Amino acid sequence: MNNDVAFYQSVGSVTEKKVFVQQKRVAVGEWMLRSILQLILIAVLALLSYLLVSHYVLQTVQVVGPSMTPTLRDADHYFLNRWIYHWHAPRRSDIVVIKDPSDGVFVVKRIVAMPGEAVHFKNGHVYVNGKELVEPYLSNGTSTYVGGRGSEAIVMCGKDQYFVLGDNRNNSFDSRIYGPVRRQNILGAVIR
């Protein structure tokens, strides 16, 4: 009888060890699975945060071409504040990124006239609502023409429209070509 009890005790003890080892393996497996799921969650949240910030708050932009020289140089990188115009409307002299109405590409330009204002080009000068626009950001001697030299034009900005020009007036495809830009096509302000 003692032998039977000892036999059952040793088998019971091996069984208990097997159950304990299996429980430990399950616990380690659950811990690893939980850790992997946490890492995946962190990666997804990081990606969503990046996308949210870069599409709606702040992103980098690269100037392509010489249309904003001398203020901004070709191939230079800047930040685009996409959030600023949720707080206030675009302002005259703001350097902005717009969606070009003619071909849909994003370009950098300067706002020179606001909604409801008249832009008048005469003798190489720009007038807004009858007053000559002071443009200290232009190179000395820069003239602004629409069409050919000596031509004169008046353009009205409608409701929610802005007139934009490149600072390099002789080498800029801007509102003189495609007209005023709608507010919805202004992505944000360039931070320099």
For 144, the token pair is 């602004």
What residues act catalytically? 67, 109
Helix/strand number for the chain, H first, E second: 2, 11
DSSP bridge pairs for 106:
99
Tokens describing residue 126 = 């720009």
Q: What span, in angstroms and rounded, lies between the C-alpha atoms of 190 and 93?
A: 11
**Residue 170 near residue 162 (C-beta atoms within 8 A):** no
Question: 17 φ, ψ to 5°?
Answer: -65, -40
